[in-house]
Structure 1
């Protein structure tokens, strides 16, 4: 449960960084001397939070917290932020960036997934103008998925931004919330093509030193979200038959983080939170009295406790970890 005090604390964290322009990590292809050199000149909405995708999911988290706790003290500041930033002219500039030929693969697929997750959250939110303003960028990102997925012969299974299962999982929420049957079908067929035949996963190599997603659990959560419910349990049993056996003990224990001032090592705090999210969702998909259900509920609790302790403290984690905490606590 995400109580109002926790929501307020997370909101304050995000409000403190979504308009903090520096430090900033930007992956930009300069097309000429006329290109702007400040992040805010390239991205007038999503320029804060150290990088574009973190700013996008900071906005998602604020929208989610506002929906859940519309009377919390931070609510007025969130509304003012959205009124100021989610406006047509600023979104038009964000769209113009994605229209650049050199931006074809910009933020693919992680930022794409988060933008659609934000769009899903804003559908039927308290102020329709926010969703309406974002719509042109939403349509561009949806078109990016539609153009890219048929060309992507293979999935990307790393535990960082390029993980394709995570992007499909977030995009599925938008497809469902917007009643976009064509997009949902594309996501389902792609997931089946990429992951449907996978068997006997041992999560070998997890965790690696800088991942914030579990390759194995994220794939399973993607399939849970996109498969028919009666088909998921047989697939999952074949995919991870060793769950509850010593072979997968390493997956059930939270990752250790040695230096939270190192942005890559700090990813492991996010791994604990994203694992908690996946474990909880997967457990809920299994029937009682399935032993795996209890094991994953326990693992979710252990990972959540480990991750929540370190949501704030150093900017290398603070600019994004609360979003993953909210994923774990609310979805």
Structure 2
């Protein structure tokens, strides 16, 4: 199942409308320097206090705005617009910016939340409402953090969780191409510095709590920053046996043994994000590449494994629909 229809979009929107303003339970990324810092999520984050954690709330908003644009006549579109009109306002965003200005917040949400904040701004900029203007200072703050951080990141993070370099820079690059060409150039330079000579990836994955594929997220970033023919050459050296189905781990959906366990539930996200990666990589390689059809088939298997489980428990419900949208949405919109 590739592509998303209005009924599916409405279901995703209803799930996310149900949690972007749900404050509890909540997992904070927060440093306390004294008793006064022990306060509620909504006091710390006037906009992004829902969805169990800050980054999930940010990408929940990305998902809602994107669904509203792709399906403007779905019944949920009006509710999304009304909620955005009340939440994406300067006085509330000032509180988010104030949190970033705290002296101990330099590493807050690095790099996953940074990248999703840029993606949210990019999506908001495609709507006629003033939401992108409200989000612009937040995006500028995170773009500046990327620009300062990337030159001193000696080694990329090749993990399957929030710290993954490839995933974050894929989202950041897509924002930067339109909004900050200098940052786009820097991301391309750093990606080539870290990954250009990678060969024969073993893809020893997944780990037990991963929601991203280290191998495929690296390939996704290189597809983003390299010209098409250069990417094909790089990919063929990076995964030289993939046309024969090796490493098999990349073609095999993860087993999720307990969806009430927040960490194990990450594996549903892995299946969905792999589907997104495989679809995007297949399109970038082209229909004449020997991996194309196998990549598309792998995407379908991974989707089938986890798409029915988006709302089994709140540990998945508060974020999985975003990754399902990535896996299903049009590749070029």
Fold match, TM over 0.5? yes
Q: Which residue of 2 aligns with 1:27?
A: 29
Q: CA deviation at 1:177?
A: 3.2
Give the CA deviation at 1:247.
Answer: 3.6
State the distance in 1 between where 2:285 and 2:246 align. Answer: 21
Q: Distance in 1 between matches of 2:170 and 2:288?
A: 27
How many angstroms does 1:234 deviate by?
0.4
Contact 1:14 1:319 in 2 (8 A): yes
Report the CA distance between 1:246 and its aligned residue: 5.1
Q: Summarize deviations over 1:71-123 as a string: whole Å, max 9, x none.
A: 11111110011101100011111001011110000000000011001111111
Match of 2:202 in 1: 202
Q: In the alignment, which residue of structure 2 is the partner of 1:134?
A: 135
Tell me how far 1:27 sits from its aligned partner. Answer: 1.6
The alpha-carbon deviation at position 286 of structure 1 amounts to: 1.6
User: What is aligned with 2:294?
Assistant: 295
Cα distance in structure 1, aligned partners of 2:160 and 2:139: 25
Partners of 2:245 and 2:251 within 8 A in 1: no
1:101 aligns with 2:97: no
Check whether the contact 1:277–1:300 (CA below 8 A) recurs between aligned residues: yes
How many angstroms apart in 2 are the aligned matches of 1:193 and 1:322?
Answer: 33
1:123 paired residue number: 125
Q: Deviations over 1:7-47 (max 9, x none)?
A: 00000000000000000000210122222510000000000
Name the residue aligned to 2:316: 317
1:131-183 residue CA offsets vs partner (Å, 9 max, x unmatched):
001111111011110110011000000100000111100101111232x2101
Superposed, 1:72-111 pairs within 5 Å as 72-111=74-113
Give 2:10's aligned residue.
Answer: 8
How large is the Cα RMSD of the aligned pairs? Answer: 1.0
**Alpha-carbon distance in structure 2 between the residues aligned to 1:247 and 1:269:** 22
- Please tell me whether the aligned partners of residues 110 and 167 of structure 1 are also in contact (alpha carbons under 8 angstroms): yes
Counterparts of 1:5 and 1:236 in 2: how far apart (Å)?
36
The answer to which of 226-235 and 144-153 deviates more is 226-235
Distance in 2, matches of 1:124 and 1:214, equals 29
- Cα offset for 1:290? 2.2
**Aligned pair count?**
328
Q: Which runs of 4+ in 1 moved over 4 A?
A: none
Separation in 1, partners of 2:215, 2:124: 30
Aligned to 1:193: 193
Q: Which runs of 5+ in 1 are unaligned?
A: none
Where in structure 2 are there 5+ consecutive unaligned residues? none
My pick for the range that moved more, 285-294 or 21-30, is: 285-294
Per the TM alignment, residue 189 of structure 1 is displaced from its structure 2 partner at its CA by 0.5
2:291 counterpart SS class: helix
Normalised TM-score (structure 2): 0.97
Q: Distance in 1 between matches of 2:161 and 2:49?
A: 21
- What SS class does the counterpart of residue 136 from structure 2 fall into? helix
Q: Using the TM superposition, name which of 223-232 and 146-155 deviates more.
A: 223-232
Which residue of the partner structure matches residue 164 of structure 2?
A: 163
